[in-house]
Amino acid sequence: MATMPGHGLRHVTTMRPWLRTFRSSTSLASLPSHFTEDSEQAQPKTDKPSSYFPKRGQTLELVCESLAFKGKGMCKVADTGFVVMCDRALPGERFIGRVTRRKGNYAEVTKVKTISPHWDFVDAPCEYASYCGGCKTQNLSYEAQVKAKEHQVHELIIHFGKFSQTELESQSIMKPIVPCEIQFHYRNKMEFSFGSQKWLPRESLMDRQDGSDNYALGLHAPGFFDKVLNVDKCLLQSEPANMVLAAVQDCWRDPQLGLSPYNVYSHVGFLKHLMLRTGRNVKTGIPELMVNFVTSSYKPELLQPLLGKISAIPEVVSIMNNVNTSVGNTSLGEMEYTLYGKSSITENLRGLTFQISANSFFQTNTHQAEVLYKLIEDCAGLRGDGSEVVLDLFCGTGTIGLTLARRAKHVYGYEIIPQAIADACLNAKLNAIQNATFIQGDLNKIDESFGNNFPKPDIVISDPNRPGMHMKLIRFLLKLKAQRIVYVSCNPATCARDLDYLCHGVTEKGIEGCYKLKSIQPVDMFPHTPHIECVCLLELS
């Protein structure tokens, strides 16, 4: 298991030449609207540049200046400053790019050839890193990865959150990013797809085969919903999970077994997904593995040969079958069957035990979730005398709220997904927590009556998904005026937008902000990927 060296945190704070430009022409203020992806409200208003517009199909020599949202490299056309975005381009890399399309005030390019490599180049240990869309920055040193993420959050908070550089520095609001000590084998859940069409790189297209030789089990190639990159192992998941993947790969194409991958065009075929989840036995600490086959129908006899191989792996304690009969290719089943062992596994987090079923939501990186939840608990600042009420918005399966319940008077959690609420209630019971109430409801559709069925909270925890918080919820929080809000974000662009609304208001809508931003703590939950988590503390002005 690869870990960050003990001196890594000191090195993380070391400035590199390409990071000395927080306020330079590479700032995210010049980024296109697509950069924020999830909300038009997260976009700064910019005039259309009068500079040169590259044409589709044209090739350009470019230098990547920084990483943008979703891990795309941001470049500028020489002498004009016109912004172009390139997937898999990394800071400092000089390359030839071909323009594929223009989107308003920027263009997208595809890398044709690297002229000189990027700064902090390392050899990617994964053989699929050049093709798989998951680990885009594996050949960038981890030290440089986290610094680039910190830089990205910093720029978004200034340009979309409208907080000044002076304000961030003088009040020490922006904290250094917390790196992840474990950079590989950290994921406790991976979902692989069965496919009838194997994706091949351009140079191998002549090697394409027919029939079952063209079947694949792995990850969808970036940009292809119908083609699957065949994967024999993934360095992000546990070793026992890789043993299961290898066991399935070893035999599932055997014609004598009668197994076929689901075809997204003809809607025929049996196998849709292979989901692997890793937990821990709460008594022994030994890893536990759940294997979940998602199929188009319930035919357990077809899976029996695979069960024999998989159940021989000691860590496997559960084999499930989710049946999804819809033409869609989602992994959530309409019916669920236990084929071997138990129907759930367990995991420990912040001293609590959580029961995880095949479709439960749980933090994907258990080790770093311990760090994240400690930061949330510190920001919440509960006195510990059992006198404070906590409102946990977008509570999921209750993991954050339940870790705070020990020091609170009562926790009220809201979540739209019924199964998540059921899991939250089960987890509360499992840990003998009686001062937590979980309610199913859509926080994007609240009305004037929202808040009538719980007392005014002292602390609000908000952990929205990528689009951030709806304006209705923003209005509610500004009217509620809880003393403290801890905003947990998986999307720094919409996070910056929501912080702006809560602190500065929205003048054109007659909304006045009433909070002061006290701290922003970026956390790297997923090394080698573009994803960034942030924990933000706001206090009532």
With CA atoms as reference, report the closest residue to 270 among 300, 238, 311, 291.
300
Catalytic status, residue 126? no
Cβ atoms within 10 A of the Cβ of 249, count?
18
Report angle CA 130, 237, 352 to the nearest 5 degrees: 145
The tens place of each residue's pLDDT in the chain, 541 residues long, gives 444 433 333 333 333 333 333 333 334 434 444 344 444 444 444 444 444 678 889 999 999 998 887 788 999 998 888 999 998 898 889 999 999 988 878 999 999 999 998 889 999 999 998 888 788 899 899 999 999 999 999 999 999 999 999 999 999 999 999 999 999 999 999 999 999 988 887 666 556 666 678 899 999 887 777 889 999 999 999 999 999 999 999 999 999 999 999 998 899 999 999 999 999 988 888 999 999 999 999 999 999 999 999 999 999 999 999 999 998 777 888 899 999 999 999 999 999 999 998 988 889 999 999 999 999 999 999 999 999 999 999 999 999 999 999 999 999 999 998 989 999 999 999 999 999 999 999 999 999 999 998 999 999 999 999 999 999 999 999 999 999 999 999 999 999 999 999 999 999 999 999 999 999 999 999 999 999 999 999 999 9
Q: Structural domains in the chain? A: 2-8+171-181+365-540 (3.40.50.150), 17-141 (2.40.50.140), 189-349 (2.40.50.1070)
| Confidence (pLDDT) at 524 | 98
DSSP state of 484: E
- What does the alpha-carbon distance between residue 329 and residue 262 come to, in Å, rounded to a whole number? 8
Q: According to the model, what pLDDT value does residue 329 have?
A: 74
Amino acid (1-letter code) at residue 448: E
User: Structure tokens of 327?
Assistant: 């033409």
Compute CA distances 531 → 71, 308, 445, 476, 526, whole Å. 8, 37, 27, 29, 6
Phi-psi region of 415 (alpha: psi -120 to 50; beta: other; left: phi over 0): beta
Q: What is the pLDDT of residue 211?
A: 67
Do residues 420 and 361 touch, judged by C-beta distance below 8 A? yes
pLDDT of residue 11: 35
Q: How far is residue 197's CA from residue 210's CA, in Å, rounded to a whole number?
A: 9
Enter the tokens of residue 82: 């016109």
- The answer to the question of whether 37 is labelled as a binding residue is no
Question: Which residue in 433, 447, 448, 478 sits closest to 460, CA to CA?
Answer: 478
355 is in an annotated binding site: no
CB 281 within 8 A of CB 316: no
3-state secondary structure of 372: helix
Instruction: Return the DSSP state at 188.
Output: S
Q: Is 363 labelled a binding residue? A: yes
Contacts of 172 (CB under 8 A, 6+ apart): 519
State yes or no: 463 annotated in a binding site. yes
Query: Rg of the Cα trace of the chain?
Result: 24
Q: For residue 220, which of 193, 252, 190 has the smallest C-alpha distance?
A: 193
Cα–Cα distances (Å) from 369 to 213, 348, 451, 529, in that order, read 40, 11, 29, 16
**Looking at residue 351, what is its pLDDT?**
92
The catalytic residue among 490, 495, 514, 536 is 490
Q: Which residue in 205, 207, 299, 310 sits closest to 252, CA to CA? A: 310
The predicted structure's pLDDT at residue 434: 97
Contact (CB, 8 A) for 28 and 43:
no
**What is the chain's percent helix, strand, coil content, to nearest 5?**
25, 30, 45
